[in-house]
Amino acid sequence: MRAVKDVPREDAQAVLQAYPTWYHSIELAPDVVTSGIAPLEHWEASLRSLQLPDMHGKSVLDIGASDGFFSFAVERMGAARVVALDYYAWSADMAEYAKDWRESKRTGLPLPSPQESRHWRPDELPGRRPFDAARELFASKVEPVVGDFMTMDLTPLGRFDVVLFLGVLYHMQDPLAALRRVASVTAPHGLAVIETEAMEIAGLEDRSFCEFFPGMELNNDPTNWWAPNATALAGLCSAAGFREVTILTKRPEPRRQGRAKALGSWLAKTSIASKLGVGAIADHSPLRYRAYAHARV
């Protein structure tokens, strides 16, 4: 794989011109960065949050790879084989779909999912073009696989030392079935790294809860369904067959809710609460955050 410093700037600029809309921010050449949904620093911080082991010689499956930021990153870190798997974002013209998303956010009008939208073109894979262009610039050996992870036959894929399941769990209608499939492609003693939208309800952290989004409540996206709390995330991984689960993220601080609400949450946990009948003032609104977990088979 070519180092970023060795990619000619003109070639990278030409890719930016051809593909102005990206999900990931990727440095294609020195100081030539694609315009993803968040700045490059966000993705670099996310990469650090994965707490990846030494990747030299490892096989990696990146489920829901999108533009490939994490696939290229692990290839750079020395992975021997990287498979980038995606379906929905690759099968739609995501640059056009993003325009509809912005319009829907502005107007409040409903937005179809990519596969129900007028931008769905699975025969042409328009959404994979930015990934392909970056792959070519980097002379990368990342192997793209087009498939719906939930319905495709996973046997031919084999099993991987490291499986990345980043930003995908909350898109799953059946998160337990999804994690079972993640476990099935993780090699014995392998590691699955999971990143997901998550939530906590102050005072109820020890119970397993998932918040359900029947419509477009989460980020105006009709393909977002569930956000677990950390206890539910760990429980889902265990129920899916992972032997050892570590939640890497600290839970959000309840004080972010404001002092009065935090006091209500604290009071609700004490015996004073039932005597005074103040349970009702406890704040049960979920605190959203991104959770990272390591799960071992």
Q: Which residues bind ligand SAM (CB under 6 A)?
A: 64, 66, 85-89, 148-150, 166-168, 171
User: What distance in Å separates the CA atoms of residue 262 and residue 291, rounded to the nearest whole number?
Assistant: 21
* 199 contacts 286 by C-beta, under 8 angstroms: yes
Question: Over the range 181-216, which residues count as b (16 or more CB within 10 Å of their CB) and which as e?
Answer: bbbebbbeebbbbbbbbbbbbbbbeeeebbbebeeb
Tell me the closest approach of the beta carbon of residue 220 to ligand SAM, in angstroms. 13
**For residue 4, which of 36, 37, 40 has the smallest C-alpha distance?**
40
Closest to ligand SAM by CB, 6 vs 148, is 148
Tokens of 169: 């769990």
Q: Which residue is nearest to ligand SAM (CB)?
A: 64
Tell me the closest approach of the beta carbon of residue 254 to ligand SAM, in angstroms. 27
Closest to ligand SAM by CB, 65 vs 247, is 65
Closest to ligand SAM by CB, 43 vs 242, is 43
Which ranges constitute the DSSP H helices of the chain? Answer: 9-18, 40-49, 69-76, 88-91, 94-107, 129-137, 175-184, 230-239, 259-269, 271-276
Tell me the closest approach of the beta carbon of residue 6 to ligand SAM, in angstroms. 25
What is the strand order of the sheet 160-166 is part of? Answer: 143-146, 81-86, 59-63, 160-166, 186-200, 287-296, 244-247
Closest to ligand SAM by CB, 12 vs 168, is 168
Q: Which residues contact 95 (CB under 8 A, 6 or more apart)?
A: 19, 20, 21, 126
Tell me the closest approach of the beta carbon of residue 62 to ligand SAM, in angstroms. 7
Tell me the closest approach of the beta carbon of residue 168 to ligand SAM, in angstroms. 5
Closest to ligand SAM by CB, 32 vs 218, is 218
Rg (CA), the chain: 21
Closest to ligand SAM by CB, 58 vs 171, is 171
Tell me the closest approach of the beta carbon of residue 85 to ligand SAM, in angstroms. 6
* 32 contacts 9 by C-beta, under 8 angstroms: yes
Closest to ligand SAM by CB, 58 vs 181, is 181
Tell me the closest approach of the beta carbon of residue 91 to ligand SAM, in angstroms. 8
